[in-house]
RNA sequence: GGAGAGGUACCCAAGUGGAUUAAGGGGGUGGUUUGCUAAACCACUAGCAGGCAUAACGCCUGGCCCGGGUUCAAAUCCCGGCCUCUCCGCCA
């Protein structure tokens, strides 16, 4: 959520800063501005009448105690009370419309970001398969031959786009999860959380998924709970509506969770294997930090995610997302993309964002400053990293002509094998 | 899921319609006394959100789990919800 004061004071500037997203927000911002002034006008009047009501009610109490007649004043106050009721109703309705409109406005991208994605750098070399007898296979073929991915059975159980890993496949996935969590715990100072996978609607609103992206979410109608699309949602909301002491910052939380996404409107896109499923595993990193420190933490967060890829020996590149591509809540985002030799494509395995105070504002997440006032904190998140896609990357990058897969050294202590053999 | 009890500030807790400016205690902070500590005593301790105003001070509204309602007036009465506890049922 954007600062309403910013919109009040300089709506033109806000519209301009939002326009880099490739969308025109002029009419919505102007509507917000208008609603805000109507709201304040009515609120002012209602509060004035309430002040009157309070003092007169006190007088009525006094009169009654003294045994005097108060019926005249009471009659007058009846009118005031009904006027207050009208105004309160109006104030409530206008405010809720205003809030709702505001919740649909995305964050303002950071300064100095280009319109389109920019490749920051590439790490490692694309593996050379020119000596191989056959070109590298996509991971779904390898997975099937090794009998570690069974999408047919997954479809039988849940329909399309669900994963089912079997035997050594399930083991590899589990090894990767533990490996990632261990790195972030040992070297990056994260506290591991096992959060609920179902959360309330207001929690989804806090991080920005709701109300705008309700279509992408699974929900349980009976209890109005939502399946988390990423652990960012529960982790970032952990301290919502709190005022955190400076001495307790930064907060660094991580969680492995399955993630659930309806992927509405992506039919026919990336249908192969483990790339775009309704359910996938991910290790997520969340930082809650002081505003002046968030840029530094953002860089650090990126390197923490990269560490996983480096240790696995995967070739990847770092993208700075263009202003038109940045997600709803973020001001700046780096994507990490791993090279998939079988698919011959770069595949996103991590998205590392600084949301600044956007989410904190939505969830009233603050800290106490030296002068005693409160200020919104900054929130950041990054995948550390997407497990299923790394699984796929390992299959594609470390396959041999015999359709075996060499297990990267970094995770051998978690899976206790050197190769997956067909 | 059923029956009952409850939710008041950092904690405990009083408060069944107007005198409450939400009692009292604990804790905390500051002070007095003091060789030091403890104790005693004194003072302060309602956060938060919002509106108005501003050089600064300040004024007002809301707020006793949340949302409605009744009333001139609600912590207090009524309705709905959430949460916690106890018992029963179900259950890995």
Q: What ipTM is given for this predicted complex?
A: 0.84
| Cross-strand pairs, A405 | A399, A420
Question: Looking at strand B, which nucleotides approach a protein CB closer than 7 A?
Answer: 18-19, 48-52, 60-62, 68-73
Quickly give A374 CA vs B40 C1' distance in Å: 38
Going by pLDDT thresholds of 50, 70 and 90, the confidence category of residue A55 is confident
R_g of chain A, CA atoms, integer Å? 27
Predicted pLDDT at A266:
74
- Angle, CA A392 vertex, CA A170 and CA A233 arms, to 5°: 75
pLDDT, tens digit (0-9, with 9 covering 90-100), for A2-34: 999 999 999 999 999 999 999 999 999 999 999
Predicted pLDDT at A316:
98
Global confidence as pTM? 0.93
CB of A68 within 7 Å of some strand B atom? no
| Cross-strand pairs, A254 | A192, A285
Other beta carbons within 10 Å of A9: 10
Predicted pLDDT at A288:
95
Predicted pLDDT at A261:
94
CB of A56 within 7 Å of some strand B atom? yes
Predicted pLDDT at A368:
81
CB of A369 within 7 Å of some strand B atom? no
* φ/ψ bin of A340: left (φ > 0), alpha (ψ from -120 to 50), beta (otherwise): beta
Closest nucleotide relative to residue A63's CA, C1' based: B18
A345 by Cβ neighbours in 10 Å (0-12 / 13-18 / 19+) ranks as middle
């Amino acid at each position: 959520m954007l600062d309403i004061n910013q919109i009040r004071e300089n709506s033109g500037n806000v519209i301009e800063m939002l326009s880099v997203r490739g969308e025109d927000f002029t009419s919505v911002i102007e509507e917000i501005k208008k609603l805000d002034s109507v709201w304040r006008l009515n609120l002012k009047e209602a509060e004035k009448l309430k002040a009157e009501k309070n003092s007169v009610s006190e007088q009525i109490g006094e009169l009654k105690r003294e045994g005097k007649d108060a019926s005249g004043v009471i009659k007058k106050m009846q009118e005031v009370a009904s006027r207050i009721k009208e105004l309160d109703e109006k104030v409530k309705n206008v405010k809720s419309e205003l809030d709702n409109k505001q919740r649909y406005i995305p964050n303002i991208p950071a300064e100095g970001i280009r319109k389109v994605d920019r490749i920051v750098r590439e790490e490692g070399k694309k593996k050379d398969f020119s000596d191989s007898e056959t070109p590298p296979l996509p991971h779904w073929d390898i997975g099937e031959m090794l009998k570690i991915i069974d999408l047919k059975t997954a479809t039988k159980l849940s329909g399309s786009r669900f994963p089912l890993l079997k035997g050594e496949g399930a083991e590899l996935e589990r090894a990767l999860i533990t490996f990632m969590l261990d790195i972030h715990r040992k070297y990056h100072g994260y506290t591991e959380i096992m959060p609920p996978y179902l959360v309330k609607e207001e929690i989804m609103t806090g991080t920005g998924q709701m109300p705008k992206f309700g279509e992408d979410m699974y929900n349980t109608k009976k209890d109005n709970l939502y399946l988390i699309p990423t652990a960012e949602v529960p982790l970032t909301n952990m301290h919502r509506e709190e005022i955190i002491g400076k001495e307790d910052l930064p907060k660094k939380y991580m969680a492995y969770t399955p993630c659930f996404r309806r992927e509405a409107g992506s039919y026919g896109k990336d249908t192969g294997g483990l790339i775009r499923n309704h359910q996938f595993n991910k290790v997520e990193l969340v930082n809650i930090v002081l505003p002046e420190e968030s840029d530094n933490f953002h860089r650090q967060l990126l390197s923490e995610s990269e560490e996983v890829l480096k240790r696995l020996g995967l070739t990847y590149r770092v993208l700075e997302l263009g202003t038109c591509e940045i997600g709803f809540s973020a001001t700046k985002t780096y994507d990490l993309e791993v090279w998939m030799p079988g698919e011959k494509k770069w595949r996103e395995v991590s998205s590392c964002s600084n949301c600044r105070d956007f989410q904190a504002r939505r969830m009233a997440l603050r800290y106490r400053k030296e002068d005693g006032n409160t200020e919104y904190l900054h929130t950041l998140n990054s995948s550390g990293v997407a497990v299923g896609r790394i699984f796929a990357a390992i299959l594609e990058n470390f396959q041999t002509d015999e359709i075996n897969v060499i297990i990267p050294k970094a995770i051998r202590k978690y899976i206790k094998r050197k190769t997956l053999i067909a």
